[in-house]
Amino acid sequence: MIQSTPLTSDSTTLLRSIAPVASRITIHVAPTRAIRGSQILDECGPELAALGQRPLVIGGDRSLNAIKERLFPVLQDQGLTAQTASYLPDCSETSLDTLRQVVADHQADFIIGVGGGKALDTAKLVAHQCHLAIATLPTSGATCAAWTALSNVYSDRGAFLYDVPLERCPDLLILDYNLMLTAPKRTLVAGIGDAIAKWYESSVSSGHSEQTLIIAAVQQARVLRDILLQHSLEGLQNPGSETWQQIVDACVLMAGVSGGLGGAQCRTVAAHAVHNGLTHICTNHKTLHGEKVAYGILVQLRLEEMIQNNHLALSARQQLIQFYDQIGLPKTLEDLGLAEVTLAQLRQAAAISCAASSDIHHLPFAVNPDQLVAAMVSTLN
């Protein structure tokens, strides 16, 4: 027999003495459902149909053309009425305005995002703004955008402007390895650069936290780093292999888990701040997000060496330079296609990276634009 014990005055006092949460914290850990496998898209009609009857499929021109033969028969088999729309020129306010009108014209009742990071960010944000369900269908391993409750907004010319926290992670994520195999190798290499940054940034911004989920997020990022350092080269050399699939999972799924657990309290730092500044240099838009972030990790470690005389940062940078050489990530401005960049352009990028609202200020020391420029030109020192 189970007996209940009434609260005594002592126990009531104890309960009242527990410190209340200082503020409301909401985290979005994962998509409602994630499905992964080879040729798995062909089997996902019922899951898509559960989201609605009139999907708007948002992606880039190439992704939409590549996916039509696979996706549309699946939708037609379920009796769904689909329409496509391009997110180009970018995940920008202009594109978002246009796509919201397409949603209204098509009377869409859910969104399917197809493609890489910017396409998926756009699709998620349109769904968020129109209060619709969202399914993400990544076609490359370049980012974890298919997983996360966050979208980055850029200008029409590709300059980073701001990010938008979303109400939830996607309702459905479909990771089809056969689709991922159609993407250029470079996109997965860039995804490795973006994913490995989770450790180098979160360990600096949040590594001293005593909050359970923040600790879990940072340690997840450490495991993610170790997987990528140990297995990326083998995976890239054997597309479609089990090791390759694990690298795809690491970049698209596991990187998202770390961000989901940590939420807004597990911050990006200098690597993404450098990326954001570089997007404002007009000649730089041919490089991928993860390539700029990977370079930004070296810049962050260089700042830790220069300002803190941090010998561990030096060792980490040397390890990463060797790793970058193995898989083809950029180490210098020249590698990013910026051999002809002017000092004025670098100072412009550094000023944007050091703006008052920038994540670079999550470093445990102050950084000014001149110091950042010095680090940007000395990543191989």
Question: How far is Cα of residue 77 from the mean position of the Cα atoms in its chain?
Answer: 32
**Does 91 have pLDDT greater than 50?**
yes
Residue 138 to residue 14: CA distance in whole angstroms:
50
Burial, 377: exposed, middle or buried (Cβ in 10 Å; 0-12, 13-18, 19+)? middle
Rounded mean pLDDT of 310-324? Answer: 97
Banded pLDDT at 25 (limits 50, 70, 90): confident
SS3 164: strand
Q: How far apart are CA 159 and CA 90, in angstroms?
A: 9
What's the token pair of residue 352? 């944007």
SS3 label, residue 231 = helix
Say which residue the tokens 């994540």 belong to: 359
Judge whether residue 359 has pLDDT over 50: yes
Kindly tell me if the per-residue pLDDT of 360 is higher than 50.
yes
Nearest to 369 by CA among 240, 377, 284: 377
Evaluate if residue 19 carries a pLDDT over 50.
Answer: no
Contact 228, 250 (CB under 8 A): yes
If you ran DSSP here, which 8-state letter would residue 111 be given? E
The answer, yes or no, to whether residue 2 has pLDDT greater than 50, is no
- The fraction of the chain above a pLDDT of 70, given in percent, is 93
**Where are the extended beta strands (E) located within 1-138?**
34-37, 55-59, 83-86, 110-115, 133-138
Neighbour-count burial of 196, counting CB atoms closer than 10 A to its CB (0-12 exposed, 13-18 middle, 19+ buried)? buried
Confidence of residue 354 (pLDDT cuts 50, 70, 90): very high
pLDDT in tens, 207-231: 999 999 999 999 999 999 999 999 9
* Residue from 82, 73, 66 nearest 44 by CA: 73
Contacts 24+ apart (CB under 8 A), 228-233: 228/192, 228/195, 228/196, 229/196, 229/319, 229/323, 232/192, 232/323, 232/326, 232/327, 233/326, 233/327
Does residue 136 surpass a pLDDT of 60? yes
Mean of the per-residue pLDDT values of the chain: 93
- Arithmetic mean of pLDDT, 140-151: 97
> Does the pLDDT at position 272 exceed 80?
yes
